[in-house]
């Protein structure tokens, strides 16, 4: 297949552009400003491009920025998602649209969320991504929504790079134990998206590395892998910020697993990420 990737300069977009060719696909990396998903004209231009599949990895991902600019969040994460779905519907081609654990509130919750669990976003970002999911499925019921969480990828700026940077700058960290999720390596997600795209199954899928951790546990694992295991990490229960993240919101991969698509445990994926960094 020739897979057009929207948001191709993001950390997931770059992982898709590197990994999908390993499954025999050609890739068309599309990035803004030329390929702005919020622009309605993108529908016709994608149809003219005639890819044989689409992955939408474009999003306004600055979670706190979405609280300050809710209209922009809605244009990109809501309407933008619909534009891509309308193009896929017109072409009748596979579409994987990427979404997030922020569609859940993570409150009064003790087990990972299955794909059909009730949603209740607490933030503008989460609400805009849920709006995107609903618009995509309304415009194109054959679409695949891949919800994921806590992404880190080669060349990206993310929680992993931030922890290493803060450890070096400050010599100690204070990290919350009250936020729990699935750390997920972009390369593993990209591979899973490639596998999912080739299946005729539609609807919502949870694609995350297996297992879950608190931010504090994840930070400790990062520093251990980064050769900074001696840096103390204080557990705290609150970190002030504009957007409210879900508290306990790990995702359970049940639907993709039933198709044989599973991601390895998160500690193994984190080790693979650091090994790849060293090689690079
Ligand atoms: N990061 C996470 O922890 C996480 C967790 C769960 C789900 N997700 C979802 O995973 C997907 C990929 O995220 P990521 O981590 O790769 O984020 P990222 O590194 O921030 O990449 C997002 C990309 O989208 C592009 N973009 C923003 N607005 C756009 C627009 N109007 N039109 C076209 N492109 C636009 C950005 O362009 P510029 O490069 O020009 O800024 C950026 O390259 C998103 O759907 C996100 O919601 C992410």
CA 13 to chain centre: 10
DSSP string, 209-266: -BS-EEHHHHHHHHHHHTT-TTS-EEEES----SS---SB-PBP--HHHHTT----BH
**CA-based nearest residue to 59, from 132, 124, 4, 117:** 132
Quick: pLDDT tens for 26-56.
999 999 999 999 999 999 999 999 999 999 9
Confidence (pLDDT) at 159: 96
Mean pLDDT score across all residues of the chain: 97
Domains of the chain listed by start with CATH number? 2-157+182-211+250-265 (3.40.50.720)
Atom of ligand 1 lying closest to residue 76 CA: 31
Tell me, in angstroms, the distance from the centre of ligand 1 to residue 7's CA.
6
Quick: pLDDT tens for 222-270.
999 999 999 999 999 998 888 999 999 999 999 999 999 999 999 999 9
Ligand 1 pocket: which of 28, 36, 58, 72 to mutate (most atoms <8 Å of CB)?
58
């Amino acid at each position: 297949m020739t897979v057009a990737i929207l948001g191709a300069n993001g950390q997931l977009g770059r992982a898709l552009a590197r990994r999908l060719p390993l499954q025999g696909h050609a890739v068309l990396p599309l990035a803004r400003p030329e390929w702005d998903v919020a622009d309605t004209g993108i529908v016709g231009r994608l149809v003219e491009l005639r890819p044989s599949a689409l992955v939408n990895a474009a999003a306004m991902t600055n979670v706190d920025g979405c609280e300050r600019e809710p209209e922009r969040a809605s244009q990109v994460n809501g309407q933008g998602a619909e534009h891509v779905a309308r193009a896929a519907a017109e072409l009748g081609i596979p579409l994987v649209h990427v979404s997030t654990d922020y569609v859940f509130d993570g409150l009064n919750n003790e087990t990972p969320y299955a794909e059909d669990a009730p949603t209740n976003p607490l933030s503008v970002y989460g609400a805009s991504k849920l709006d995107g999911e609903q618009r995509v499925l309304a415009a194109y019921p054959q679409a695949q929504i891949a919800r994921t969480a806590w992404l880190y990828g080669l060349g990206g700026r993310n929680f992993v790079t931030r922890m290493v940077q803060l450890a070096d700058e400050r010599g100690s960290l204070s990290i919350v134990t009250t936020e729990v999720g699935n750390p997920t390596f972009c390369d593993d997600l990209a591979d899973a998206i490639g596998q999912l795209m080739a299946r005729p199954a539609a609807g919502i899928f949870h694609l995350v590395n297996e297992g879950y951790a608190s931010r504090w546990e994840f930070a400790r694992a990062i520093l251990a892998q980064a050769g900074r295991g001696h840096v103390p990490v204080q557990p705290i229960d609150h970190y002030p910020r504009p957007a409210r993240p879900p508290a306990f919101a790990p995702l359970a991969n049940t639907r993709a697993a039933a198709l044989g698509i599973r991601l390895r445990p998160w500690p193994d994926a984190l080790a693979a990420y650091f090994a790849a960094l060293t090689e690079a």
